[in-house]
């Protein structure tokens, strides 16, 4: 059972059978995020029922997410970033690790996560989209890794995911210039799984979700686990993992026949 999401989290959760939709819901702030957003996203991941197969992440209004709410830099902001500096080093490290878990669970092998991206995806918004397995992008989308421009670093898992998608050199150029990456370039470089007209975004996401649900779940889980681990394995190790996964699937299928 999912916990009730408080308004300060800045998003809402809707469940329909095996699909959970997380909608960033601060359109007046272009869905800017706060530490409360990350804390409550982590809670959603922990509380997610085992029946859920697909998680869709989207933004209300004209943007996916403008990233960190600048109000969080204020010394007076409750739960703001200045409070991290006042914590002991190990406590601050644990706090940020909890924030990272708010995005990290979207890569779990038992789920497929889909980001529906329109308008701006900046900073934490960019990293949230990167955390998802599939990024369906409207043609008005623009990705920006703004943290270095603010004197910070991307710290919600985005650096590794970006390098894996586009390679080191392009990732360095995107992060260290802070430029906007338009939808057509995102598709060309692998940031986007597909690009569609803005009016077609919801329909394309719905069709993708239905396609995902048609696959046998166990085969989907095993395949995603193989894909997630592929970059860190040698070809021989990956082939061994494929053999083991296939034998597990064949054994399960044979049990169904028997």
In tens, the pLDDT along 175-186 reads 999 999 999 999
Tell me the sheet residues that pair with 143: 121, 181
User: Which pLDDT score, from 0 to 100, does residue 85 have?
Assistant: 83
* pLDDT tens per residue, range 131-171: 999 999 999 999 999 999 999 999 999 999 999 999 999 99
Report residue 12 as tokens.
């809402």
User: Which pLDDT score, from 0 to 100, does residue 258 have?
Assistant: 66
Rounded CA gap, 85 and 73, in Å?
11
**CA–CA distances in Å: residue 62 to residues 47, 121, 131:** 29, 11, 21
| Average predicted confidence (pLDDT) for the chain | 94
Q: pLDDT higher for 256 or 1?
A: 256
Report residue 197 as tokens.
């007209």
Rounded CA gap, 131 and 152, in Å?
19
Rounded CA gap, 5 and 40, in Å?
7
Beta strands (DSSP E) in 8-68 are 11-16, 19-24, 54-59
First to last CA, the chain: 35
Rounded CA gap, 64 and 27, in Å?
9
Residue 78 has pLDDT above 80, yes or no: no
Chain center to CA of 163:
15
Chain center to CA of 138:
16
pLDDT-derived band at 2 (thresholds 50, 70, 90) equals confident
What is the chain's percent helix, strand, coil content, to nearest 5?
55, 15, 30
Portion of the chain with pLDDT greater than 70, in percent:
99
Helix (H) or strand (E) holding 101: helix 89-104
């Amino acid at each position: 059972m999912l916990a009730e999401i408080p308004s300060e989290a800045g998003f809402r959760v809707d469940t329909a059978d095996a699909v959970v939709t997380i909608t960033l819901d601060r359109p007046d702030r272009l869905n800017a995020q706060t530490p409360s957003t990350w804390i409550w996203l982590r809670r959603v991941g922990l509380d997610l029922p085992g029946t859920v197969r697909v998680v869709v992440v989207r933004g209300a209004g004209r943007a996916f997410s403008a990233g960190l709410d600048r109000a969080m830099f204020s010394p007076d902001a409750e739960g703001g970033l200045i409070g991290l500096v006042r914590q002991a080093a190990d406590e601050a490290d644990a706090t940020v690790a909890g924030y990272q878990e708010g995005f990290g669970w979207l890569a779990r092998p038992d789920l497929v996560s889909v980001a529906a991206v329109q308008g701006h995806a900046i900073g934490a918004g960019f990293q949230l989209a990167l955390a998802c397995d599939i990024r369906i992008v409207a043609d008005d989308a623009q990705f920006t890794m703004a943290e270095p421009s603010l004197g910070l670093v991307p710290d919600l898992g985005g650096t590794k995911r970006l390098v894996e998608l586009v390679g080191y050199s392009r990732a360095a150029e995107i992060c260290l210039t802070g430029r906007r990456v338009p939808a057509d370039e995102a598709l060309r470089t692998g940031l986007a799984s597909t690009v569609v007209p803005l009016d077609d975004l919801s329909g394309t996401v719905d069709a993708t979700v239905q396609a995902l649900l048609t696959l046998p779940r166990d085969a989907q889980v095993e395949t995603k686990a193989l894909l997630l681990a592929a970059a860190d394995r040698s070809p021989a190790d990956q082939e061994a993992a494929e053999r083991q996964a296939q034998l597990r699937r064949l054994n399960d299928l044979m049990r169904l026949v028997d």
